[in-house]
Amino acid sequence: MKIKSKIKRIFLAVSAIAVLGSITTGCGSGSSNQSASTDSTATSGSADKTLLGAGSTFVYPLFSKQFSEYNKLTGLQINYQAIGSGGGILQLTNKTVDFGDSDAPLTEEQAQKMGVPVLHIPMCSGAVVISYNLPEVKDTLKLTPDVIANIYLGKITKWNDPKITAINPGVKIPATPILVAHRSDGSGTTNIFTDYLSKVNPEWSTKVGKGTSVNWPTGLGGKGNPGVSGLIKQTPGGIGYVELAYAIQNNLSYAKVQNKSGNYIVPNIASTSAAGNVTLPADSKIFLGNTDAADGYPISGFTWALIYQEQAYNKRSQDKAQDLLKMLWWEIHDGQKYCQDLDYAPLSPAAVTIAENILKSATYNGKAILQ
């Protein structure tokens, strides 16, 4: 009896400790992060030349190339963690990194959490291609926005549907059932693709909408680009969307897609860059999907580096802010030459001009950093 009550007492004490512990970590997450970030900035002060970044996995190969080149030029160390756009935004919100990178502009909720203005600087653009597996078809298929949307809505279920054969005259298309593949993991690629579908198809826009993960009306989910392309490759009749770079590097076959001007565009680096050569808003926050450019591939989007407009926060030194801005300036100019080899689309001239203006608007204690 005595032992039992003792055990009981110990158990109560333990749960009390546990509750206390979790409450302080759970509720006070904002404040504890704040103190952690001040510590990190204090230790990595102006003396050591290190910048921290986090975000999109899509841009990671390009960033690692650019940052290693920039390190050779200037000796500046840039540590970029590819943890996903959402994670990058969260880290920037908590001020634990110097810059974030996202494949989508901040949502209203995210911007609200930041509290202060955040600059979006376009870094490069990427395209999403429609890949398919029809061993019998040797020509490159043409697809219209309407057809793609109806396939993903589950309304076109056979490859020889009149809607598909009508736009591909002279191509013998078999009666294979269509197997739709999509990304199962939340991803910027899905965001670009669903944003495009929302723009071209009202039914998609109301029924499904756009986002990093959506409620797919039909189809199977594969994890990452390899998962989706695995599904397509394994199933005759499979169709799915993957990043252009991934499709090029893995020799996938992909369709020409009709753009707003009515032209069927082969997705490649040139046509993706062209998609961004349109009148851009001054803050560059635009989804490029369904571009107005006549020679632009319609399913593409920017990836943005994110920084606070006012760089004097958390006792950051002016040197650090200067380093960051100079590095980003280099990325949108000289750094762009590394895009091509890694199958990213460099910024269009229009986008570079916009990005320059955005970088110039960054301040330190209210004064412009770049002259």
In whole angstroms, what is the distance from residue 59 CA to residue 343 CA?
11
Q: Using alpha carbons only, what angle is made at residue 81 by residues 76 and 83, rounded to the nearest 5 degrees?
A: 160
Cβ closest to other proteins, residue 28 vs residue 45: 28
7, 23, 73, 368: which one contacts other proteins (CB under 8 A)?
23
Shorter beta-carbon distance to other proteins: residue 146 or 185: 185
Q: Is 221 in the site for other proteins (CB under 8 A)?
A: yes
Structure tokens at 247: 């499709």
Residues 188-217 that bind other proteins (CB under 8 A): 188, 208-216
x/- binding map, residues 88-107, to other proteins, per CB under 8 A?
Answer: -x--------------x--x
Other C-beta atoms closer than 10 Å to the C-beta of 262 total 8
Nearer to other proteins, 64 or 205 (CB): 205
Alpha-carbon distance 245 to 227, whole Å? 15
Query: Counting contacts by CB under 8 A, is residue 111 touching other proteins?
Result: no
Count of residues that bind other proteins according to CB under 8 A: 48
| Pairwise CA distance, residues 171 & 328, whole Å | 47
238 binds other proteins (CB under 8 A): no
| 146 exposure class (CB count in 10 Å sphere: 0-12, 13-18, 19+) | middle
The residue (of 61 and 186) whose beta carbon lies closer to other proteins is: 186
- Cα–chain center distance at 302: 8
**Smallest separation, CB 361 to other proteins (Å):** 25
Asked if 231 interacts with other proteins (CB under 8 A), we say: yes
Among residues 7, 8, 9, 22, the one that binds other proteins under rule CB under 8 A:
22
Q: Which two tokens stand for residue 15?
A: 């749960």
Q: Which is nearer to other proteins, 208 or 325 (CB)?
A: 208
What's the burial of 164, exposed, middle or buried (CB within 10 Å: 0-12/13-18/19+)? buried
Please identify which residue in 40, 137, 186, 360 interacts with other proteins, judged by CB under 8 A: 186
Nearer Cβ to other proteins, position 199 or 320?
199
| Residue 179 lies near other proteins (rule: CB under 8 A) | yes
For residues 334 and 75, give the distance between their C-alpha atoms in angstroms, rounded to a whole number.
16
CB-count burial class (<10 Å; 0-12, 13-18, 19+) for 66: buried
Binding site for other proteins (CB under 8 A): 10-11, 14-15, 17-19, 21-23, 25-27, 83-87, 89, 104, 107, 109-110, 179, 184-188, 208-216, 219-223, 227, 230-231, 234-235
